Chain A
Amino acid sequence: MKKELKFTVNGQPYELYIKPKTLLVEVLRNELGLTGTKQSCNSSACGACTVVLNGMAVKSCSILALQANGGDVLTVEGLAEGVKLHPIQKAFLDYGAFQCGFCTAGMLMSAKALFTENPSPKTEEIRESIDGNICRCTGYNSIIRALTAVSKGEYREEQ
């Protein structure tokens, strides 16, 4: 039997009926068409599906969509304001913080949660924040360089 799910995604309220077994990543991608969030390992290992739920980074492949009922979700589509990129996105471009790009949405959302909690994290905290995100192109150093630049305020005028 389908159940009602009412929640907000990127500021937009949604109300839909889903099977209880539906995962949050499946609702985002298949029901709402927000395919920026990637589904990869499906076992909570890789972090490609990371979104921000109620201010916290979570793995959307490992949460029942109904657990987000009444909640507030931010996906990679919600980072930019129109054509104005979010400072973290801008830093990723400037520092070449991706190759194939498959992990990028998850990396950005983990970083978004980090900077919301702590605008000037230390290098150790930056590294820890993406501990749950795997980049198989192994571009970690450029990602850490990009996030370090944001933490040092290089993109402050963008905020």
Chain B
Amino acid sequence: MIKDFEYFAPETLKEALTLLDKYGDECKIIAGGQSLLVLMRQRLVAPEYLIDIKGVSELNYIESDTKEGLKIGALATHRAVEKSPAMKNGFGVLSEMERRLASIQTRNWGTIGGNLCHGDPAGDPAPVLIALKAILKMASLKGERTMPVEDFTLDYFETALEPGELLTEIQVPTPLPHTGAAYTKSNIVESDVATVGVAVSLTLGSAGGVCEDVRIALGASAPTPMRAKKAEGVLQGKKITDGLLREAGAVASTEADPISDIAATAEYRRELVTVLVARVGKEALARAKQA
């Protein structure tokens, strides 16, 4: 049973920030609530005040232009991201990721911003956004600030948001030429959460050339979504081969710090990291050669 709370449904960002400032630690923000309501039902979270921002329409948008890249309002739903024509301009990996996130019902109501703010290390969007070098914009009554997605999650279900602060926008830069990105996850049934998720983005010097830039991001492999920087180092500056990708996978598995739970043991998760980094890296490489 959910504990009673007082409910507010602001319609503008200003109203939302004012309420957030007033109630501070006593309140929780709800957007789609697809993660939060589960925690509230289990009484792991029991706010005195609930601020429902689902109706703040100014935070619900997806915009893209070739210069500025992609801008996704925090309240864009997973389904909107999945179906948006803007994803065709080099951001197809975001659409692929969303298509594998939970079920259509959950994607119809849940928001990409809410998913990030939930701070679950198994969330699908974070690894992909980290691989794509995305930046988050946050607002409070004091003003705005930005932060790379890779710095946003601090620990299990803990983010860098300060009291009074709200995530407002996700900014994804337009990928450089000859860049390819891919994501996959291992899960028990298709609409399930990731046992391990892996995103890789690769930039080649020219089609078929050496790897000029690489990001490998892991989900459900540590207390937070993380970059496997040593594994990236294995690929950086090299002409990528299957053997090199397998080596990167093996290195990434030593960087991962997974737990054992009902879905998998820590040992099995490390094995998944090894295999998936090589597999996803191969797909990213194929795409980079065509981009």
Residue numbers of A with Cβ under 8 A of B are 1, 3, 19-21, 23, 42-44, 47, 50, 53, 56-59, 62-64, 66-67, 69, 110, 113, 128-129, 131-133
Contacts and interface: CB of A to CB of B under 8 A. Distances in A.
A64 B191 contact: no
9 contacts: A20-B7, A21-B4, A47-B103, A56-B108, A59-B109, A62-B38, A66-B9, A67-B54, A128-B104
Given A3-B7, A44-B37, 20 more contacts: A19-B4, A20-B7, A21-B2, A21-B3, A21-B40, A43-B38, A44-B106, A47-B105, A56-B105, A58-B108, A59-B105, A59-B109, A62-B37, A63-B37, A64-B33, A66-B52, A67-B52, A69-B9, A110-B105, A131-B190
A60 to B, nearest CB: 9
A19 B276 CA distance: 46
A129 B4 CA distance: 34
Contacts of A42: 41
Contacts of A58: 105, 108-109
B71 interface: no
Contacts of A21: 2-5, 40
Contacts of B190: 131
A129 B34 CA distance: 18
A42 B42 CA distance: 11
A43 B103 CA distance: 13
A132 B191 CA distance: 6
Interface string B88-121: 0000000000000011111011000000000000
Interface in B27-59: 30, 33-34, 37-38, 40-41, 50, 52, 54
Contacts of A3: 7
Contact of A1 (B2, B6, B79): B6
B36 to A, nearest CB: 9
Contacts of A19: 4
A23 B105 CA distance: 15
A63 B33 contact: yes
A131 B191 CA distance: 6
A64 B4 CA distance: 12
Contact of A132 (B7, B38, B50, B105): B105
Contacts of B41: 42-43
A19 B1 CA distance: 13
Contact of A62 (B34, B104, B191): B34
Interface string B1-32: 01111110100000000000000000000100
A63 B32 CA distance: 8
A116 to B, nearest CB: 12
Contacts of B102: 44, 132
A20 B5 contact: yes
Interface string B172-209: 00000000000000000011000000000000000000
